[in-house]
């Protein structure tokens, strides 16, 4: 019985192209107690593989986090299967703002220790004791309240290309880093301020809201469904859109345009740009922002060294990579030393004049 993906990304892309069907990109999550994640994982793979589902799905004892695509004409079958699982019945599905048939090219269902890595080892922490969910209307009202502190729970390379106006954006590479930073910086405001959080689709805020309640914050709110659901509600209800720029997403699209604002710059030339690229050099694959002009000049590479390597015949590139691990630069996500116009968000939390919050 097949319990893993057998096709390469290239082979899958060719099949999708040949099928000529529109695919639907969506995401969902649910915190729930799963007794046997491995068995649950296998059941999901068997069923979803038969439905031609592709995507990245994490399963753990604490729940499920799914980002995927499927043929649009099989959505009802997929939804029926979800509804057959008690803790997923009538689950909210975040439908992508921008659709792309190639958003995912493999089905990966993996068992993890947690669906959102948090670095916590506290048995008294209850992830289900979450903050209050708010919709787009309530969110817009809250963030105009002078008694509100708005916090972006995403990583620096996500908020760099798009964020809500006046949001505090901690300078972090991972979610787990953000929790102690925010707690420490806002510890004086646990009693009297409204802590409002947002992220891409809601999963990180769900855990963060429970964490900050656990740490004594009295008024904790989260944007239900994250930026994705907010955008849908803004468009459907003709509301004021308080988001600027693009929403970073973790699939082949890398982002969805929410507004026409370009708030970032090319990391190589400094001109306005907000398109993330992975360095074309297979030995690098650094994630960074690159404008169209630099992409053409640099062959999609992040440095002249990578460009030179990328221009070599494939077998020579392969020989150079043999026995070599990825450069540590790949983990810097746009902050490698050789990028002259990389965004430096360090101390952005402190620089937002927290003294003004005390007034």
Confidence at residue 86, expressed as pLDDT on a 0 to 100 scale = 96
- Measured between alpha carbons, how far is 288 from 55 in angstroms, rounded to an integer? 23
Mean pLDDT of 244-269: 94
Contacts 24+ apart (CB under 8 A), 303-311: 303/279, 303/338, 306/279, 306/280, 306/281, 307/281, 309/281, 309/283, 310/280, 310/281, 310/282
> Could you give the C-alpha distances from 70 to 59, 61, 80, 82, 106, in angstroms and in order?
19, 25, 14, 14, 11
Residue 272 has pLDDT above 50, yes or no: yes
Strand order in the sheet with 243-248: 162-164, 243-248, 255-257
Mean pLDDT of 87-92: 95
List Cβ neighbours of 307 (8 Å cut-off, separation of 6 or more): 281, 298, 299, 301
Residue 41 has pLDDT above 70, yes or no: yes
pTM: 0.84
* Span 132-171, pLDDT tens digits: 999 999 999 999 999 999 999 999 999 999 999 999 998 8
Confidence at residue 301, expressed as pLDDT on a 0 to 100 scale = 96
Confidence at residue 74, expressed as pLDDT on a 0 to 100 scale = 97
Confidence at residue 2, expressed as pLDDT on a 0 to 100 scale = 62
Residue 351 has pLDDT above 60, yes or no: no
Q: Which of 139-153, 311-325, 330-344 has the highest mean pLDDT?
A: 139-153
Residue 348 has pLDDT above 70, yes or no: no
Confidence at residue 336, expressed as pLDDT on a 0 to 100 scale = 84
* Span 180-203, pLDDT tens digits: 999 999 999 999 999 999 999 999
Which of 199, 291, 294, 301 is the catalytic position? 199
Going by C-alpha positions, the residue among 313, 314, 286 that lies closest to residue 300 is: 286
- Measured between alpha carbons, how far is 321 from 240 in angstroms, rounded to an integer? 50
Confidence at residue 352, expressed as pLDDT on a 0 to 100 scale = 46
Percent of the chain's residues with pLDDT above 70:
93
The pairing of strands 23-31 and 63-71 is antiparallel
Domain boundaries, the chain: 9-111, 132-237+345-358, 276-332
| Residue 199: active-site member | yes
Residue 5 has pLDDT above 80, yes or no: no
For the domain with range 9-111, which CATH number is right: 3.30.70.920, 3.30.70.100, 3.50.50.60, 2.40.110.10?
3.30.70.100
Confidence at residue 344, expressed as pLDDT on a 0 to 100 scale = 63
Mean pLDDT of 272-295: 95
Percent of the chain's residues with pLDDT above 90:
73
- Measured between alpha carbons, how far is 144 from 132 in angstroms, rounded to an integer? 17
| Number of CB atoms found within 10 A of residue 101's CB | 21
Q: Which one is predicted more confidently, 330 or 314? A: 314
Q: What's 300-311 look like in SS3?
A: CCCCHHHHHHHC
Q: How many residues does the chain have?
A: 359
Q: Which one is predicted more confidently, 119 or 34? A: 34
- Measured between alpha carbons, how far is 295 from 163 in angstroms, rounded to an integer? 25
Paired strand residues for 148: 194
> Could you give the C-alpha distances from 321 to 56, 301, 304, 314, in angstroms and in order?
27, 16, 17, 11
| Number of CB atoms found within 10 A of residue 273's CB | 23
Q: Which fold has domain 132-237+345-358?
A: Oxidized Rhodanese; domain 1 (3.40.250)
The number of angstroms, rounded, from the C-alpha of 333 to the middle of its chain's C-alpha atoms is: 13
Residue 8 has pLDDT above 90, yes or no: no
- Measured between alpha carbons, how far is 159 from 170 in angstroms, rounded to an integer? 9
């Amino acid at each position: 019985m097949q319990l893993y993906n057998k096709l390469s990304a290239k082979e899958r892309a060719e099949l999708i192209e040949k099928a000529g069907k529109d695919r639907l990109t969506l995401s969902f999550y649910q915190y729930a107690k799963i007794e046997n994640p491995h068995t649950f994982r296998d059941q999901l793979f068997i069923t979803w593989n038969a439905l031609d589902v592709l995507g990245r799905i994490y399963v753990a004892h604490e729940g499920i986090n799914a980002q995927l695509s499927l043929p649009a004409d099989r959505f009802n079958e997929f939804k029926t299967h979800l509804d057959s699982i008690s803790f997923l019945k009538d689950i909210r599905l975040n439908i992508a703002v921008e659709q792309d048939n190639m958003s995912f090219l493999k089905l990966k269902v993996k068992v993890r220790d947690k669906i959102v890595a948090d670095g916590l080892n506290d048995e008294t922490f209850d992830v289900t004791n979450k903050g209050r969910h708010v919709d787009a209307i309530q969110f817009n009202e809250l963030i105009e309240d002078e008694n509100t502190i708005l916090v972006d729970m995403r990583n620096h390379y996500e908020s760099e290309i798009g964020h809500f106006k006046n949001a505090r954006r901690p300078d972090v590479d991972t979610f787990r880093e953000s929790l102690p930073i925010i707690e420490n910086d806002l510890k004086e405001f646990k009693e009297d301020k409204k802590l409002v959080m947002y992220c891409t689709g809601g999963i990180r805020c769900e855990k963060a809201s429970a964490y900050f309640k656990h740490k004594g914050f009295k008024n904790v709110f989260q944007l239900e469904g994250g930026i994705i659901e907010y955008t849908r509600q803004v468009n459907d209800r003709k509301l004021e859109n308080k988001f600027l720029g693009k929403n970073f997403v973790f699939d082949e699209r890398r982002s969805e345009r929410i507004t026409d604002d370009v708030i970032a710059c090319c990391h190589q030339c400094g001109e306005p740009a907000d398109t993330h690229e992975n360095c074309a050099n297979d030995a690098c694959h650094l994630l960074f922002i690159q404008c169209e002009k630099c992409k053409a000049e640099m062959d999609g590479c992040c440095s002249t060294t990578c460009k030179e390597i990328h221009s070599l015949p494939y077998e020579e590139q392969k020989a150079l990579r043999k026995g070599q691990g990825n450069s540590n630069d790949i983990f810097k996500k746009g902050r490698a030393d050789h990028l002259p116009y990389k965004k430096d968000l360090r101390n952005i939390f402190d620089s937002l004049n927290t003294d003004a919050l005390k007034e």
